[in-house]
Amino acid sequence: MIASTLGIFLGSFLSLFFFRKVAVFINLVDEPNARKHHNGAVPLVGGLAVFIVVFSFLYAFPDTISSSYLYLACAGALLLAGVADDLYDISFKFRLLLQFFISALMMAIGDLVLFDVGELIAPFNINLSYFGYLMTAIVVVGAINAFNMVDGIDGLLGALSTITFSALGVLFYFNAQHELMTFCVAIVVATIPYIFMNLGIPLGQRFKIFMGDAGSTVIGFTVVWLLLEGSQDKEYSAFSPVIALWLAAIPIMDAVTTIARRIKKGRSPFKPDREHLHHVLMRLGFSPRQALVVICIMALVFAGVGVVAEVQQWPQYIMFWVFMLATVTYYFIMSKVWRITVRLRKVLGISKRSTISSPNKIS
């Protein structure tokens, strides 16, 4: 295990350096503009480099997850579409269609369907029956885009995905599902070198690299794949479905709030703006690194509560309604963000706005 973990870590570093050179050669880079304030052209192949290593691991150990070759095909298609989008800015409608198609493959071939939602709203079990197919498609597409939309400052997407996969790994370990735990560990270990290079550690900004749409979409897809695999097996379920909300709380709440706010304002739900959580924190005077730490602490708290709730078998419906209350509170704060930040800035004596590095195209 130690040898394979070290191999994944070193393989990821080498992959990042290799694809970084490829990205520069084919101009697969992110240029600064009015919304993206990073310095210079930054390669957009972090996700490609990381998941080439993860895919190689899974190809070598196909029994790690169920229907591993189906996963490789679906995730590979998303990876290629993401690279094409980063290169040519392909239509969002095409990407959305591809995501629904992949969700259909998951259900038809992999038998990964959200049928059982447990005691979601009250102390009785709910089975979605045929409605589960529609819900699965919505969940898959939602998760893919939630992790894509949260990618707004250096280190954020990598850190949040690491928190989610680590929490999943813990729950799989407690349920003696060591193969799935190993897959989570492989993803986390492969992602750590990317986080270092994304933050400029230790080689500096010269070797900076962004995840790109290829990485963010595959991360979201992989999260929802493991959430379904961990919650829908009647005999060996590692956690209840509601716990999935807590393990990916920040991407979910931020995406739901952002889309609802944009629709309320009569704008496209996929039109970029600067009202995500990291934007708000930076308007309050936090540096990008400080905002990263604050958001990661929030994500750790949510994920920690989810793990404890599952281990201690807290009532599922209580966990659902508490999460809904947290989401509504989050939405209220974000919808009043201008008034709140202005007042807080006056109280704190902050007058200078911070800048932001935003690699994401639809944040």
Determine the pLDDT at residue 107. 96
User: Helix, strand, or coil here: 362?
Assistant: coil
Determine the pLDDT at residue 92. 86
The token pair that represents 212 in the structure block: 């790109």
Bridge partner list, 42 = 30
Cα 254-258-263 angle, rounded to 5 deg: 155
The token pair that represents 311 in the structure block: 């281990």
DSSP string, 106-163: HHHTT-----EEESSSSSS-EE-TTHHHHHHHHHHHHHHHHHHHT--STTHHHHHHHH
Which residue ranges of the chain lie beneath pLDDT 50? 33-35, 37-38, 353-363
Q: How far is CA 81 from CA 29, 31, 95, in A?
A: 16, 20, 7
Determine the pLDDT at residue 351. 59
**Residue pLDDT, tens place only, 39-53:** 568 999 999 999 999
Report pTM. Answer: 0.90
Determine the pLDDT at residue 38. 47
Determine the pLDDT at residue 79. 96
Strand residue runs (E) in 55-103:
none
Q: What gap in Å lies between CA 30 and CA 360, rounded to an integer?
A: 9
